[in-house]
Amino acid sequence: MKRTAKIITKTRKPPKKEEAKLLKHAEMKIITQIKDIQQNLYEARKSGKKIGFAPTMGALHDGHISLIQKSNKTADITICSIFVNPTQFNDPSDLKKYPIKVKEDINLLQKAGCDILFMPAVIEMYPQGTKNHNPRDFGFLCQTLEGEFRPGHFEGMVQVVERLLDIVQPDYLFMGQKDYQQQLIVGRLIKQMKSKTRLVVCPIKREKDGLAMSSRNMRLSQKNRGVAPEIYKVLRLAQKLFRQGKLRIGDIAERCSGQLKAVKGMELEYFEIRNSLTLQPARRRNEKLVALTAVRLGGIRLIDNILLN
Ligand code: AMP
């Protein structure tokens, strides 16, 4: 459908500049009400279209856009949501400072070929208030690593993702490996909900110097931006040491932690090597492993990870 629409545009007389702008605008629907998105999706589903969905909090970068591109390739209709979910911010000042760039986001999504942008207000998502009366329990998976350093974060994330899944009911859900623990929890959520949605985990998009793209990067000072790529260098080192097979897993984690702690201005929250499915501490070399880290640089919290085998 999307392709046909493009072909039709091509065979028309080339529109004037202003008209071209409007035409482009018309290609992506911007929806703020749940009933409107459901109406749109009902029509699409009735005509047999597969729906791909990428939930975000906006301030979009190429990492987010890679999810849209993957959805365009996989599904017939791509929906992106932008919703800065208040319930997943354990630190109120982090929520206050979260970058908002609606105009730029709309432009990027249009260029990427997104079909629908869903941008609900807080009251639309939480008409009964933001209190989570029946939080789902994922035990250890929610309590470790990010769960330990950001208490309540995953409960809020699950609350909003479940609500979004109920609203959109996508065939495919696109999430980034960047938020490793998040995608594991959402995988469990989908199973618990007995949903038919297929979770597609997309690789981490990085800057040229290796820093994982993040909406938070723009808040780094020039100096801190300069040292931030050290995070990925150390993750690569962990992967290299693991593959060489000379050091024990615990020693690799210790050496990498030490290297990050030695970076000027960097505060290490954790550097851990864990089972890549359960996030339990690594026991054997032949289980699937992931190295995960969180650091603070000038008060900005950055996370990253790498699969070891
Ligand atoms: P956020 O807006 O930070 O909530 O992220 C929305 C989605 O984009 C999540 O599924 C993230 O994992 C994904 N994402 C964020 N950064 C990246 C990146 N650098 N590469 C790939 N996916 C990303």
Q: Give the number of the atom of ligand 1 that is nearest the alpha carbon of residue 182.
A: 12
Q: What is the pLDDT of residues 169-181, one digit of tens each?
A: 999 999 999 999 9
Tell me, what's the pLDDT at 22?
46
Q: Ligand 1 centroid vs 66 CA: distance in angstroms?
A: 9
Is-catalytic flag, 153? no
> What do you get for the CA distance between the two ends of the chain, in Å?
40
**Which residue's C-alpha comes closest to atom 6 of ligand 1?**
56
Residue 13 has pLDDT above 50, yes or no: no
Our mutation pick for probing the ligand 1 site, out of 178, 201, 292, counting the most ligand atoms within 8 A of Cβ, is 178
Instruction: Tell me the C-alpha distance between 132 and 125, whole Å.
Output: 12
Tell me, what's the pLDDT at 90?
87
More confident residue, 196 or 22: 196
Q: What is the pLDDT of residues 36-64, one digit of tens each?
A: 999 999 999 999 999 999 999 999 999 99
How far is C-alpha 30 from the geometric centre of its chain's CA atoms? 20
Kindly list the strands in the beta sheet with 266-275, ordered across the sheet, starting from the edge strand earlier in the chain.
266-275, 289-297, 300-307
**Which residue's C-alpha comes closest to atom 14 of ligand 1?**
176
Q: Ligand 1 centroid vs 296 CA: distance in angstroms?
A: 18
pTM: 0.92
Q: Ligand 1 centroid vs 60 CA: distance in angstroms?
A: 9
Q: What is the pLDDT of residues 118-151, one digit of tens each?
A: 999 999 999 999 999 989 999 999 999 999 999 9
**Which residue's C-alpha comes closest to atom 10 of ligand 1?**
175
Q: What region, left, alpha or beta, does residue 275 occupy, with left being phi > 0 and alpha being psi -120 to 50 degrees? A: beta
